[in-house]
Amino acid sequence: MKRIESTQNALVKHWKKLVTQRKEREKTGEYIVEGFHLVEEALKHKDQIVQIIVRDGVDLPLLWAIDEVVLVHVNEAVSKEIAETENSQGVFAHCKQRQISEDEQFDWKKVLLVDAVQDPGNIGTMIRTADAAGIDAVVLGKGSVDAFNPKSLRSAQGSHFHIPVVRGDLMEWVENLQADGIRVFGTSLDESISYKKVEPSDSFALIVGNEGSGINPQILAKTDQNIIIPILGGAESLNVAVATGILLYAFVK
Amino acid sequence: MKRIESTQNALVKHWKKLVTQRKEREKTGEYIVEGFHLVEEALKHKDQIVQIIVRDGVDLPLLWAIDEVVLVHVNEAVSKEIAETENSQGVFAHCKQRQISEDEQFDWKKVLLVDAVQDPGNIGTMIRTADAAGIDAVVLGKGSVDAFNPKSLRSAQGSHFHIPVVRGDLMEWVENLQADGIRVFGTSLDESISYKKVEPSDSFALIVGNEGSGINPQILAKTDQNIIIPILGGAESLNVAVATGILLYAFVK
């Protein structure tokens, strides 16, 4: 049984960086999830687990299948060092993103493209929503916040383990999807139609954009159709994750 | 011009309580919004403003119609005392909830009922969504978090000024709505139909429930119809604010 008691330990320093630094996550493809619910989801995808981290005094549920995973026990100080929440449950999974081949990407027929969304909670909720709606993948453009930061992971409630989340150039993605015959929808206030006029389909791409400024106009100019969600009351706009939910559920068959 | 420089000032203590204590907000019906965007929304509803609070060095936009409102200038220390965010914009509106008569409540035909939602961000986003969807009012049951806490106010982006948000006994509300001939929908996994089978209407009530446990079974038993949003992928469920958006937009005409 492995045990770590010093916050100066090299592995603890690595974990700490995975929790706090986007650069470290992107360099390694690794990330850390926290809490019973997320670790339980991770255990359903053992190929993505590097190790499980457990604080002294925390009992793991008897039903958890932990035979084949590396378990690292840590003391209170180490747990606190990597905990995201104040009342941490003291259980973590150090994970590694699944490699996604180009071939796999060619097969995606229902894709959510995200342009410059800034709030980690929104990104996480959008990943959860895309997962629920049966979307094939989420593609984040350059300006979007990191989807593997602790707040995004928490909001996504484990959907990172179910649906591929990749980074990409959205202009290229739009072109490639269109070359494959997949219709690409943007959300915009200009030259748009109500989303209710779009027929549900087995193949489509939806682009959603920044909380304040929406989608980059250069990308919008390339879509097949831009759509709006009509505002029927006094609000100026909808939260981007809520809008994503309304649109994805209207578009899927 | 009124000016306050001490955090020990009685008014500052009252503001601080409004920011931090639900009890104070409920006793007085007052609350505080922070930041340019929300204060600008407040100024469109001057009857709900008690006073505007401005930190030293903060310039108010010239276009703001502040002639008829009370302006209180404060120093850095007082501003910090009542600020919710670390990088506060130093401008606040001390507001008072509009009184809502029983007669007004009888006229509501599209109502969102909220049972025991716990997250302030979710409540705020739901109020914003209901406002966008043209709903007449939001009714919060006993177990729900306070809709006027700073996090809810921030997520709602000013919708508190547009749509009535009241507290009530949900069992009574369901009965009264039904007595008025308004169909009441609950969200549940049992004995439910897909929300897509519900025809859009000018009059309906939707109940949404707690993030973990859903709606109280006693309330669910009283609805006219329970509905579900089908999960098409790997997620266990949807975020409650996203679900609210999907359902409200599917039900409104």
DSSP letter assigned to residue B229 = P
Which residue is it, tokens 């690794």?
Answer: A30
Smallest Cβ–Cβ distance between A232 and the set B133, B241, B243 belongs to B133
pLDDT in tens, B216-234: 999 999 999 999 999 999 9
User: Which chain B residue is nearest to residue A244, measuring alpha carbons?
Assistant: B242
Per CATH, the number for B2-96 is 3.30.1330.30
**Smallest CA–CA separation between B32 and chain A, in Å?**
19
The average pLDDT across A2-30 equals 97
Determine whether the interchain pair A239/B131 forms a contact, defined as Cβ–Cβ distance below 8 Å.
no
Segment A210-223 mean pLDDT? 95
Kindly list the strands in the beta sheet with A71-74, ordered across the sheet, starting from the edge strand earlier in the chain: A2-4, A71-74, A49-55, A91-96, A30-34
pLDDT at B182: 98
Q: What is the pLDDT of residue B191?
A: 82
Classify strands B2-4 and B71-74 as parallel, antiparallel or unpaired.
parallel
Name chain A contacts of B243, Cβ cutoff 8 Å.
Answer: 245
Matching residue, tokens 């407040």:
B42
Chain A residues interacting with chain B (CB cutoff of 8 angstroms): 121, 125, 128-135, 155, 157-159, 161-163, 229, 231-239, 241-246, 249-250, 252
Average pLDDT over residues B31-44: 96
pLDDT at residue B1 greater than cutoff 90: no
Mean of the per-residue pLDDT values of chain B: 96
Q: B86 with B34: CB under 8 angstroms? A: no
Chain B residues lying within 8 Å of A121, measured CB to CB: 121
pLDDT tens per residue, range A178-193: 999 999 999 998 889 9
Nearest to A128 among B132, B133, B235 (CB): B235
Number of Cβ atoms within 10 Å of the Cβ of B8: 10
Q: Which residues contact B152 (CB under 8 A, 6 or more apart)?
A: B120, B121, B123, B124, B127, B145, B146
The pLDDT of A101-118, averaged and rounded, is 96
Residue A246 · residue B246 · CB < 8 Å: yes
Rounded CA separation B88/B53 (Å): 12
**Position A194 confidence tier, pLDDT thresholds 50, 70, 90:** very high
**Region A127-137: what's the mean pLDDT?**
98
Query: Which two structure tokens, joined as six digits, stand for B227?
Result: 């509905």
**pTM higher than 0.90, yes or no?**
yes
Q: For residue A208, what is the enclosing H or E element?
A: strand A204-208
In the prediction, which pLDDT does B170 show? 98
ipTM of this complex > 0.85?
Answer: yes
Residues B112-146: tens digit of each pLDDT = 999 999 999 999 999 999 999 999 999 999 899 99
Q: What fold characterizes domain B102-251?
A: Alpha/beta knot (3.40.1280)
Which chain A residues are Cβ-neighbours of B155 within 8 angstroms?
239
Tokens of A15: 């974990």
pLDDT by residue (tens digit) across B91-115?
999 999 999 999 999 999 999 999 9
CA distance B253 to B248: 10
Radius of gyration of chain A (CA): 20
Q: DSSP 3-state assignment of A8?
A: coil
Q: Which of B110, B239, B247 to mutate to test the interface with A (most CBs of A within 10 A)?
A: B239
- Nearest C-alpha in A relative to B121: A121
| C-alpha distance across the termini of chain A, in Å | 49
Q: What is the pLDDT of residue A79?
A: 97
Q: Average pLDDT of B168-181?
A: 97
Residue B130 Cα, gap to closest chain A Cα (Å): 8
Whose structure tokens read 């503001």?
B15
**Are the CB atoms for B195 and B242 separated by under 8 Å?**
no
**Spatial separation of the C-alpha atoms in residues B115 and B142, rounded to whole Å:** 7
Q: Which two tokens stand for residue B253?
A: 């005409």
Per-residue pLDDT band for A67 (boundaries 50, 70, 90) equals: confident
Task: Choose among B246, B204, B208: nearest CA to B229.
Answer: B246
Return the closest-CA partner of residue A153 out of A69, A30, A38.
Answer: A38
Give the three-state DSSP class for A45. Answer: coil
As a whole number of angstroms, the distance between CA B61 and CA A109 comes to: 48
**Quick one: tokens of A83?**
């905990």
**Cross-strand bridge partners of residue B111:** B137, B205
Question: Average pLDDT of B173-177?
Answer: 98
pLDDT in tens, A77-103: 999 999 988 899 999 999 999 999 999
Average pLDDT of span B3-20: 97
From-to residues of CATH 3.30.1330.30 in chain B: 2-96
Q: Contact, A97 vs A29, CB < 8 A? A: yes
Q: Is residue A1 predicted with pLDDT exceeding 80?
A: no
Nearest CA in chain A to B125: A239
Q: Report the C-alpha gap between A150 and A32 in whole angstroms.
A: 7
- The C-alpha of B5 sits at a distance from chain A's nearest C-alpha, in angstroms, of 33
Which one of A232, A244, A251 would you mutate to disrupt binding with B, by most B Cβ within 10 Å of its Cβ?
A: A232
CATH 3.40.1280.10 residue spans of chain B: 102-251
CB contact under 8 A, A133 and B233: yes
Classify B151 as helix, strand or coil.
Answer: helix
Question: Residue B197 half-sphere exposure, CB side, CA atoms within 13 Å?
Answer: 10
d(CA B243, CA A246): 8
Average model confidence (pLDDT) across chain A: 96
Percent of chain B scoring above 90 in pLDDT: 94
Span A46-57, average pLDDT: 96
DSSP class of A195: G
Cβ atoms A207, A170 nearer than 8 A: yes
Q: Which residues of B touch A (CB under 8 A)?
A: 121, 125, 128-135, 155, 157-159, 161-163, 229, 231-239, 241-246, 249-250, 252
- pLDDT number for residue A189: 81
Round to whole Å and give the CA distance between A96 and A11.
15
- pLDDT for position A167: 95
Helix spans in A58-119 (H): 76-82, 102-106
Band of residue B189 on the pLDDT scale cut at 50, 70, 90? confident
